[in-house]
Amino acid sequence: MIDLHYDRDGLVPAIAQQHDTGEVLMLAWMNREAVEETLRSGRVCYFSRSRNALWRKGETSGQTQRLVELRVDCDEDAVLLLVDQVGVACHTGRRNCFFRAVRGDALVELRAPAVDPRSLYK
């Protein structure tokens, strides 16, 4: 099994990138168990810091991420997940979580939700 340098909470940041378009979908966190489950199952599993539990992406919303490749950075303290995203990655109903950008002193919204988030979490 691969060895990563987990932080003092036992976590590494994980970037999810759509494997074919290059779109950066989200940033979340993984502990050792999440990394191992993801590699074993081929479905991306994170660690939810707010729920303090494994977070099998899409288990309630259906918006799963199939793992295409797991890459590790030079310091072995961050991972890049090349994934195939089903539907939308963001809980707001947008394809990716980075939908606001700085313009001057303000944040502007770059895109509206693609789906109603209430339809994702029934």
Residues near its own copies (CB under 8 A) are 1-2, 13, 15, 17, 21-24, 26-27, 39, 69-75, 78-80, 90-92, 94, 97-102, 105-107, 110
- At 90, which amino acid appears? C
Closest to its own copies by CB, 6 vs 99, is: 99
**Least distance from its own copies to the Cβ atom of residue 32, Å:** 14
Helix or strand holding residue 35 (H, E): helix 32-41
**Least distance from its own copies to the Cβ atom of residue 91, Å:** 7
Answer yes or no: are the C-beta atoms of 121 and 61 closer than 8 Å.
yes
Q: Which of 89, 39, 90 is closest to 64 using CA atoms?
A: 89
**Least distance from its own copies to the Cβ atom of residue 66, Å:** 15
Answer yes or no: are the C-beta atoms of 27 and 40 closer than 8 Å.
no
Closest to its own copies by CB, 5 vs 59, is: 5
Closest to its own copies by CB, 59 vs 69, is: 69
Structure tokens at 59: 């288990």
